[in-house]
Amino acid sequence: MRSSIVAVLTYLDRVDPAAAIARERYGCLTPWQREPSTYGRAVLTEGYRKCEAEVVRQCQEILGKHLDYAANDPDSFLDAAQNARLVASAERYYRIMYYGGAESWNLRDTHMFETLGHILEAQGPQSKAVVWAHNSHIGDARFTEMGVVREELNLGQLCRNKFAGAACLVGFGTRGTVAAASDWDGEMEVMQVRASRPDSYERQFHDSGVARGLLEFRRDESLRRRLIEPRLERFIGVIYRPDTELQRITRKPPWPSSLTPSCGSTSLTQSGL
């Protein structure tokens, strides 16, 4: 949030010095720019509830001057507009994060998807993009515990909904060591990934005897049917706790039979990579 506010103000100083009102609008977020996670508690008080309206108004004002600002430098305008959108999304994110639940996750991935859409639109109707993100974002959440149990959506699901067959989701698996932390804000550690369990997709790939490979589900219906059975899959993110991986498992989800499996802490998933 902090760097995006700086980017917007720097841009406006260059193209429209009269837009100094942006500093006043973003001023209500100043105390929280370095520790935005504390904003959710503060916004419960009357004095900070106006922040939402102010940052949204600033975003709308920049977008409303698209023709004036983008005439000479459309790329710089796109950067500024995206940063203004990010500030608005970040304000909402840190506000709802205080309450927990799926809404904060869904806001993040929806913001990712909208950002992708803005970039594609700016580059023209024939544009293509490659998005590199974690499996928990790229895989289709409808086939994992994320969507079925926790009611979370993700970038891969939104791209499937929007672009259908034009979107190709590619997932990765690995073994050996990973760089992660044991706790939030903890020091980075190089950790050994635990051996795969017999009831996991990882074990299926390991037992195939193929060191490296790529599976294309869309070209092999028999393979798709064979891998439709729900199995364990883990995705290791910023946090990795090898000793408690299985504690997050809840129940076997009722998978939607009408959907086609996609690539995807341990969770249940309908298909692996």
pLDDT digits (tens, 9 = 90+) for 64-74: 888 888 888 89
Letter for the amino acid at 176?
Answer: G
pLDDT at 253 over 70: no
- Give the contacts of 54 (CB within 8 A, at least 6 positions apart): 25, 26, 28
Letter for the amino acid at 222?
Answer: S
Tokens of 84: 């203004």
Inter-axis angle of helices 102-123 and 74-97, nearest 10 = 170
pLDDT at 218 over 80: no
Q: Measured between alpha carbons, how far apart are the two ends of the chain, in Å?
A: 33
Q: Phi and psi (nearest 5°) for 49?
A: -70, -20
- Give the contacts of 84 (CB within 8 A, at least 6 positions apart): 4, 8, 58, 59, 62, 63
Residues above pLDDT 70, as percent of the chain? 85
162 compared with 17, residue with greater pLDDT: 162
Tokens of 78: 């796109």
pLDDT at 265 over 60: no
Mean pLDDT, range 235-252, rounded to an integer: 70
pLDDT at 258 over 80: no
By DSSP bridging, strand 177-180 and strand 189-192 are: antiparallel
Sign of CA dihedral 218, 153, 36, 69: positive
Report the C-alpha gap between 237 and 179 in whole angstroms. 9
54-58, 71-75, 104-108, 212-216: the lowest-pLDDT one: 212-216
Write down the pLDDT at residue 49: 64
Q: What is the pLDDT of residues 7-65, one digit of tens each?
A: 999 999 988 877 778 888 888 787 777 777 677 666 666 555 677 888 888 888 888 88
pLDDT at 263 over 60: no
Q: Where are the alpha helices (DSSP H) in the chain?
A: 2-15, 21-27, 39-42, 51-64, 66-70, 74-97, 102-123, 135-138, 145-148, 155-163, 201-207, 221-226
Sign of CA dihedral 176, 235, 36, 62: positive
54 compared with 255, residue with greater pLDDT: 54
Residues above pLDDT 90, as percent of the chain? 22
Token pair 């429209």 is found at 16
Write down the pLDDT at residue 268: 46
CB 133 within 8 A of CB 112: yes
75-99 burial: b if 16+ Cβ within 10 Å, else e: eebbebbbbbbbbbbbbbbbbbbee
Write down the pLDDT at residue 188: 94
CB 258 within 8 A of CB 228: no
Mean pLDDT, range 101-122, rounded to an integer: 91
Mean pLDDT of the chain: 80
For the ranges 34-38, 115-119, 197-201, 265-269, the maximum mean pLDDT occurs at 115-119
Q: Any idea how long the chain is?
A: 273
